[in-house]
Amino acid sequence: MIDTHSHIYSEEFDADRNEVIERARNAGVEHIVLPNIDSESLPRMLALESNYPGYCHAAIGLHPTSVKENYEQELNIVKSELERRAYVAIGEVGIDLYWDRTFYAEQVRAFQQQLAWALNYELPIIIHVRDAFGETLEALEPFRNKGLRGVFHSFTGTLDDARKIIDFTGFYLGINGIATFKNSALKDVLPNIELKHLLLETDSPYLAPSPYRGKRNESSYVEIVAEKLSDIYSVEKTEIVRQTNENSFSLFNFNYRTIKK
């Protein structure tokens, strides 16, 4: 299995990070993608990638909730990192209007700048959306048919939302522990979406699946997500793993560190 979205570099794992990774390995997790948040999270993420080369894979980006007055300075750091070395993806980026709309215009500008970099550097993009699906699609529209590719991380939308993403082409839906929640509508939406459009993820330390809901999430729990998808699609877990792994390898080049800059 591949955990395509995990923040196990965060402080929540300082006491037992090595054990968390060992549990992930034992559960069958072959790769973990580490999306960045902002310049503050960058050193921790890079340190983890360095400690587990070929297993933990760093992405670079400015998270929408980190878009403030200084967002241009933050974007300059993203750009300098893209020039300095290779990354597995740009992310996580996007639009988040859940907390407030104060920096909505700046979020859109930051998002679109990073979309342009994804095209320039031929990298997939990891998109964060919260209470802003329409706004996100609107921001994406100028990039339609340009070869953009990526994943809508932590997908919780409707079937219509999923079809709009698939129609854009080049994008997968990231499915995590939310699919295991009793009140989640995903159990009704996902059977109408082919497995070739899905990626597995955890979003650790957030969104732990049942029966761990409300507790710290970790990458080994991606197995629980795979088991839930096995139930939803009425296929063996091995088929869920096979298809989502194929999707992950199609999107991410896990040999990115060998790229010459």
Read off the pLDDT of residues 173-187 as tens digits, 9 standing for 90 and up: 999 999 999 999 999
Q: What are phi and psi of 246, to 5 degrees?
A: -60, -40
Domain residue ranges in the chain: 2-258
What is the distance between the alpha carbons of residues 235 and 233, in angstroms, rounded to a whole number? 5
Name the H helices within 141-236: 159-168, 186-189, 222-233
In CATH terms, the superfamily for domain 2-258 is: Metal-dependent hydrolases (3.20.20.140)
Each residue's pLDDT tens digit, 54-83: 999 999 999 999 999 999 999 999 999 999
Q: Is the pLDDT of residue 100 over 90?
A: no
Tell which phi-psi region holds residue 2, choosing left (phi > 0), alpha (psi between -120 and 50) or beta. beta
Mean pLDDT for 242-254 is 98
CA separation for the pair 136, 104 (Å, rounded):
11
Query: How many other CB atoms are found less than 10 A from the CB of residue 188?
Result: 11
pLDDT at res. 258: 66
Please report, in angstroms and rounded to a whole number, the separation of the first and last CA atoms in the chain: 30
- Residue 133: per-residue pLDDT: 95
